Amino acid sequence: MSDNKPFSMRLAVPSKGELERPTLDFLSAAGLRVLRPNERQYVASIPSLPNLLVLFQRVPDILVKVEEGSVDLGITGYDVLREQGEENTNTVMIYENLGFGQCELALAAPESWVDVSNIEDLAELTLLYKEKGKVIRIATKYPNLTKKWLHDMSIYYFALVEAQGALEAAPSIGYADMIADITSTGTTLRENRLKKLTGGTVLKAQACLIGNRRSLREDPAKLETTRTMVELIEATMRARSYLSITANMQGASPEAILHDLLKEKALAGLRGPTIAKVYSKTQADESWYAVTIVAEQKTLPQAIDHLRHAGGSDITVTPLNYYFDSKSWNFEALLEKIKRG
């Protein structure tokens, strides 16, 4: 990649950890493939957005870079964004749920605490500790979220131990009694003899797209690049829920076929079916039509049955790569946000 390339905009993406590969796969699926000739390099490009430079950064640092304006856009964890809270005055949320990196910030206690299985048990335990002149020590990388959530649950007698690295060892080592940490499957907790408390989920999170408010507001070219990116992401994510279904159908006319299909309007496509004449290979078959509908994936079996009952055959199903609406609603929301800033 040439150092003289006129990049005018910067996007920060995770450089390692559980979000790196899913982020690259997600962008690629949206038509935004990241070109990184050497995996040891921390810069890359997106050929479909030639003015955009991609920078690989640690997930916690991405928010910092966006907030200070050294990058214009960033893909990071929603948990990281929420932990900083009101400190993010220059950061605007563009896409809150990108559909990958799902996890939750949860409270976990040692399995040996047989009498503590839910948040109500924890509340009682903190009161017992208080009577003895002690407090429950909770190790966490998310002190702001954890403190606020516990207060909202009317739990006040605890001490937060801020820590980095693997928190699961904190109770066994002895510098904390329990932890509040990110988990996706719970496997690591179980392997360290910890259990997630019922009702102890502080926050559910996944990957999100953020931007620098001032940068996007003041530079029309950057805003236009952002629009292209958001449009592709939005259309890709919307398309995941739909399928294109085509069937050959014999009938006296397109109107006659339409009449049969509309007996179940919910299964006749989003706005209705597309009906086109099929020019048969044999002159004897003059009354065949190709019927195409777009249906939700969850209604596929019912849609297939409906087409069959209407006389459909040779039915094919194709996944959608993109599904564009009349406008990008996420981008319209972004415009309102940066105007208010």
Residue 18: φ, ψ to 5°: -70, -15
Using one digit for the tens of pLDDT, what is the confidence trace for 114-169? 999 999 999 999 999 999 999 999 999 999 999 999 999 999 999 999 887 789 99
Using one digit for the tens of pLDDT, what is the confidence trace for 18-58? 899 999 999 999 999 999 988 888 999 999 999 999 999 99
pLDDT (0 to 100) of residue 341:
63
Name the token pair of 290.
Answer: 């190709």
Boundaries of every domain in the chain: 9-101+206-239, 103-203, 242-319
Q: Which of 14-18, 122-126, 275-279 has the highest mean pLDDT?
A: 122-126
Shared fold status for 9-101+206-239 and 103-203: yes
d(CA 19, CA 22): 5
**Nearest-CA neighbor of 227 among 125, 152, 324?**
324
Sign for the CA dihedral angle at 146, 148, 152, 157 comes to positive
Share of the chain above pLDDT 90, in %: 83
Report CA-CA distances (Å) from 83 to 60, 143, 156, 219.
Answer: 10, 8, 19, 29
**Nearest-CA neighbor of 208 among 8, 13, 10?**
13
Please give the CATH number for the structural domain made up of 9-101+206-239: 3.40.190.10
Tokens 């801020």 -> residue: 162
Strand partners, 57: 14
Residue 278: φ, ψ to 5°: -100, 125
Other Cβ atoms less than 10 A from the Cβ of 42: the count is 12
**Nearest-CA neighbor of 161 among 183, 145, 176, 148?**
176
Longest dimension (CA), the chain: 94
Using one digit for the tens of pLDDT, what is the confidence trace for 210-235? 999 999 999 999 999 999 999 999 99
b/e burial code for range 112-142 (CB count within 10 A of at least 16 → b): ebeebbebebbbebbeebeeeeeebbbbbbb
d(CA 95, CA 234): 9
Question: Is residue 211 within a helix (H) or strand (E), and if so which, with residue range?
Answer: strand 207-212
pLDDT (0 to 100) of residue 279:
86
CATH number, domain 103-203, options 3.20.20.140, 3.40.190.10, 3.40.50.300, 1.20.950.20: 3.40.190.10
pLDDT at 4 over 70: no
**Nearest-CA neighbor of 8 among 49, 56, 70, 53?**
53
d(CA 265, CA 242): 16
Using one digit for the tens of pLDDT, what is the confidence trace for 70-108? 999 999 999 999 998 767 789 999 999 999 999 999 999
Tokens 């509340």 -> residue: 123
Other Cβ atoms less than 10 A from the Cβ of 174: the count is 9
Contacts of residue 270, Cβ cutoff 8 Å, sequence gap at least 6: 293, 294, 295
Name the token pair of 6.
Answer: 């006129």
The chain-wide mean pLDDT, for the chain, equals: 93
Contact in structure between 56 and 42 (CB atoms under 8 Å): yes
CA 30 to chain centre: 13
Residue 125, CB half-sphere, CA atoms under 13 Å: how many? 17
Q: What is the CA radius of gyration of the chain?
A: 27
pLDDT (0 to 100) of residue 88:
78
Contact in structure between 196 and 187 (CB atoms under 8 Å): no
d(CA 206, CA 22): 11
CATH number, domain 242-319, options 3.30.70.890, 2.60.130.10, 3.40.50.300, 3.30.70.120: 3.30.70.120
pLDDT (0 to 100) of residue 2:
46
